[in-house]
Every structure is written in structure tokens, then in C-alpha cells.
Amino acid sequence: MKIASLDNEVHFKNVFTDVEIFTAFVKDVLGIEIEIDKVETEKILPSKVSAIKFRMDLYAEDKTNRTAVEIQKVDYDYAYDRFSHYFHANLVDLQKSSQDYSYAKDVYVIVVVTSAYKIKNKNGELLRDDVLITDTNPRTLKGDKRYMQDHKLVMLNAIHANDNTPKAIKDWLDLIVESMKEEQDLNNINTDNPAINKAVNRAALDDLTPEERAESKIQYMRKRMIALREYEAVQDTKVAAALALNKNRVAIPIIANSLEMKEAEVEAIIKEAGNEH
């Protein structure tokens, strides 16, 4: 059996809109149990708090336990500021009254990233963490946390899961990574976990409707176009850099090495630029 790629938004939603799968995933990632009867998709935050309109990929609310959980599947635009905005906009939306700043429910946002982070820290260093957690609790000068609230933003990177990743989380990330491979090995997926086993069955390609197949192809082509534009942008930057270095009489071997190109490629760029002039 071959399963659909969970890197594709259509397939991801098809799997995680299942209540049993959604609640099991939330428990394994957040360590909390929620009681829900449905999972909403494409939910729009109605508040006028934020001028930026955004949709929630997957959203569920446990009204009994006053808990709201949102899951975002991200395959582009990995800016931390974007995730942070989602998180804090949800929190501000809960503060309906200027007389009472308390929150009506606990808010959790889980972001699932399916390729290398493009997030950099304040020093410009690229992050390669498997799990990143943001909460709203203060710390003392000694670094001791004071637990005031349970709100939490958890960012998961399937690509960077490793042996130190908590097993409950890694099992889900292994499912996502394996689904993305051309040559899949379902033995690498922990199907002993009933919810993950159910996710595998829901992701079976044979079970897709014609509408889901069509939409998944659209999503696939969208990603290919984004990747192509990014590749072309990188190539344009390399061409400009190679010509600038050559103009400053930098040797071709040095240009090639610094730009991770072949010497023949650098020579062709310089020759073509000369022909244009």
C-alpha cells in the first residue's frame, strides 16, 4: 500500500480532520486530552484585533475544558513572526472586555513544518531544531519559570526529527516524512499506535475521491512553482555575484568555490555576459 504525501495540504487535512487522529496527535504533542466532536477547516478569525486576515488550517474547540487547538501545516513562508502573529492574535481575540483581561480558554497552536526551517535567530543563524516551544509565562532573573497560563505555540519540524525527539512526537513526524518519500517503507512508521495506524489507512491513495485527487494535484503544482521561483532567484543571485567578482578580477576557481558552482558554469556566465555586450 502506498500512502498520500502529508506534505500536501489536501491529504494532511483529510487525515487530521478525523477526530480520533486529531485528539491523539494533540495529546502526543501537547500532553493534554481534549474532548471534541468535530475539526473545522479554513476557519477565519472574526476579530478586528488584527488587520491581517488569516485562516486556520485545522481548528477544534473543547468547550467543556475551555481549550482551543489550532494546527497549521506549513510548506512555505517559515517566518517565525507569522506563527507568532497567529498565536497572539488568537489570544487577544479572547480578551473581549476591557474590564477583564482574563482568557476564556487556553489556546494552543501547533505548526507542522515539512521542510528545512528558513527561520533565523537574532544572530542570523539558521535554526535546525526539531521542536520549538513558545509560551506566555514569565521568568525570574534566575531563569525560573512562573506558571501563570497554559497557552502554548509548538513548532515541529519533521525533517529535523532525531533520536532525542520525544518518541510520542517522533512517531508522528516519522509518518509525515515517510509519506513524502517516493520509495516508502511503512515499517518505519509506528502502526502499533492505533491513531497513527488509522492515519495510514486514511492516507491510502486508493481511498481518495476524484475531487481530492484533483485538488491535491493543484497543491502539488503550486509547490513546484514556488520551488522553481526560489531556485531561479538563487540562480539570478549567483549570476550577479559571479559577474561582480569577475569584474573585480577574482580568479574563476575562487568564484566557483565561493558560489558552490562548477568552473565551467562560471566561465559560461562570463562568456554570455561578454557576448551580450
The 131-135 sheet, strands edge to edge: 40-44, 55-62, 67-74, 106-113, 152-157, 131-135
Question: Distance (Å, rounded) from C-alpha 195 to C-alpha 21?
Answer: 5
| Alpha helices, H only, 95-209 | 167-179, 194-202
Q: Please, is 240 exposed, middle or buried when counting C-beta atoms within 10 Å of its C-beta (0-12, 13-18, 19+)?
A: exposed
pTM (2 decimals)?
0.73
Instruction: Give the other-Cβ count within 10 Å of 54's Cβ.
Output: 13
Q: What is the CA radius of gyration of the chain?
A: 23
Question: Distance (Å, rounded) from C-alpha 154 to C-alpha 103?
Answer: 19
Question: Distance (Å, rounded) from C-alpha 138 to C-alpha 153?
Answer: 15
- The whole-chain average pLDDT of the chain stands at 82
In the predicted structure, residue 226 carries a pLDDT above the cut 60: no
In the predicted structure, residue 7 carries a pLDDT above the cut 60: yes
Q: Tell me which of 13 and 119 has the higher pLDDT.
A: 13
Question: What are the CA-CA distances from residue 275 to residues 58, 105, 268, 270 (Å)?
Answer: 54, 66, 10, 9
pLDDT in tens, 68-126: 898 888 766 557 877 888 888 888 877 765 556 677 789 999 999 887 656 677 787 77
Question: Distance (Å, rounded) from C-alpha 32 to C-alpha 106?
Answer: 11
Domain residue spans in the chain? Answer: 9-208, 227-276
Give the model's confidence band at 218: pLDDT under 50 very low, under 70 low, under 90 confident, else very high.
low
- Strands 40-44 and 152-157, bridge-based pairing: unpaired
- Strands 131-135 and 152-157, bridge-based pairing: antiparallel
State the cell numbers at 215: 485538488
Question: Distance (Å, rounded) from C-alpha 203 to C-alpha 276?
Answer: 52
Range name among 22-36, 69-83, 144-158, 234-248 with the lowest pLDDT average: 69-83
| Structure confidence at residue 214 (pLDDT) | 61
State the cell numbers at 8: 500536501
State the cell numbers at 26: 494533540
Element (H, E) at 94: helix 80-94
Give the model's confidence band at 27: pLDDT under 50 very low, under 70 low, under 90 confident, else very high.
very high
pLDDT in tens, 43-73: 776 666 666 666 778 999 998 888 989 888 8
Give the model's confidence band at 153: pLDDT under 50 very low, under 70 low, under 90 confident, else very high.
very high
Give the model's confidence band at 169: pLDDT under 50 very low, under 70 low, under 90 confident, else very high.
very high
Question: Distance (Å, rounded) from C-alpha 96 to C-alpha 161?
Answer: 39
The total number of residues shown for the chain amounts to: 277
Q: Name the DSSP class of 120.
A: B
Q: Are 151 and 108 in contact (CB under 8 A)?
A: yes
| Structure confidence at residue 35 (pLDDT) | 93
